[in-house]
Amino acid sequence: MSFWSITLFLWEGFRISLLIFAVTLLVGIPLGLPISFCSMSRVRPIRCAAKVFVWIIRGVPLMLQIFIIYYVPGLVFNYQLFGRVDKYFLLNYGIQDAGRIVAVLIAFAINYACYFSEIYRGGIESISKGQYEAGQVLGMTKKQIFFKVVLLQVIKRIVPPMSNEIITLIKDTALANCIMVAELIKQANTLAATKALIWPLFYTGVFYLLFVGILTVLLGRLEKKLSYFSS
């Protein structure tokens, strides 16, 4: 196999990695909000439930969570949900791994939403009470205070920790390997197993590095854009 065809073969895998990355952010970033609100709720049972949930999700390896999501429907309900989705998409559309990818996406979205929720909570709680009170005294509604006064300050504070999580995420996509989703590392493993080629495995690092490089630049720009004020 030529270098180019191996690159293309790995790229097929990296597209799956990027899909996991994008969907996790698209779902996890908004999903983190209600979780963080629940974990700050004044209603104790809601707050406790949210905290326990976040504790479990953050306390258990993501790989284990992928296994649980993937295998539990079959084990508990005797219904191979994701396997059937796999088969359905393969037969009807010729798409590989659809069910497995969905299981991975669910696990990733929930897991990252919990991490994001803690970052949001930290950001929201770091805004001084005085900002809310200044808004109140000026006759603003709670909603106006949140959206017009607090939100941008929170965003500014959470950009650095969110950047860390986002950069971790692209590398975490390799965990999808554990239920045989053909992401980047899995593709390289396939080459090792079928063509006895080890070097493509190391070559995958270039994909991650390039992507992390792009992310770093973009997130750095965002951070810089918000540096016009300090609070």
Partner 1 sequence: MELLKIENYKKSFGATEVLKGIGFSLDRGETLAIIGSSGSGKTTLLRCLNFLETPDEGRMYLDGKLLFDASGPRAGDAEIREKRLRFGLVFQNFNLFPQYTVFENLCLAPKLLAAERPDYRQKKEAYLAEIEEKATGLLDKVGLTAKRDAYPCSLSGGQQQRVAIARALANSPDILCFDEPTSALDPELTAEVLNVLRSLASENMTMIVVTHEMKFAAEVASRVIFMDEGVIAFDGPSAEAFGENCPNERLKSFIGSIEK
Q: Among 23, 29, 149, 178, which residue interacts with partner 1 (rule: CB under 8 A)?
A: 149
What's the closest the beta carbon of residue 137 comes to partner 1, in angstroms? 5
Q: Among 5, 94, 130, 194, which residue interacts with partner 1 (rule: CB under 8 A)?
A: 130
| Segment interacting with partner 1 (CB under 8 A) among 71-79, 139-147, 170-178, 210-218 | 139-147
Q: Nearer Cβ to partner 1, position 142 or 171?
A: 142
Query: Distance (Å, rounded) from C-alpha 83 to C-alpha 159?
Result: 38
Show contacts with partner 1 in window 93-122 (CB under 8 A).
none
Query: Distance (Å, rounded) from C-alpha 54 to C-alpha 130?
Result: 29
Q: How many residues bind partner 1 (CB under 8 A)?
A: 23
Q: Among 39, 117, 153, 177, which residue interacts with partner 1 (rule: CB under 8 A)?
A: 153
What's the closest the beta carbon of residue 150 comes to partner 1, in angstroms? 9
Q: Does 156 bind partner 1 (CB under 8 A)?
A: yes
| Burial per residue of 43-67, b for 16 or more beta-carbon CB atoms within 10 angstroms, e otherwise | eeeeeeebbebbeebeeeebbebbe
In a 3-state reduction of DSSP, which class is residue 30? helix
Widest CA span of the chain, in angstroms?
A: 71
Q: Among 22, 134, 206, 209, which residue interacts with partner 1 (rule: CB under 8 A)?
A: 134
Q: Among 22, 72, 136, 220, which residue interacts with partner 1 (rule: CB under 8 A)?
A: 136
Q: Among 45, 29, 47, which residue's Cα sits nearest to residue 37?
A: 47
| Segment interacting with partner 1 (CB under 8 A) among 77-85, 128-136, 162-170, 173-181 | 128-136
Given CA atoms 199, 201, 205, 208 in this order, what sign does their dihedral have?
positive
φ/ψ of 123, rounded to 5, equals -65, -45
Q: Does 204 bind partner 1 (CB under 8 A)?
A: no
What's the closest the beta carbon of residue 146 comes to partner 1, in angstroms? 13
Tokens of 80: 């191979």
Query: Distance (Å, rounded) from C-alpha 82 to C-alpha 153?
Result: 41
| Segment interacting with partner 1 (CB under 8 A) among 7-15, 96-104, 147-155, 213-221 | 147-155
Tokens of 188: 């390289």
What's the closest the beta carbon of residue 145 comes to partner 1, in angstroms? 10
Query: Distance (Å, rounded) from C-alpha 214 to C-alpha 56?
Result: 32
Binding site for partner 1 (CB under 8 A): 128, 130-131, 133-142, 144, 148-149, 152-153, 156, 228-231
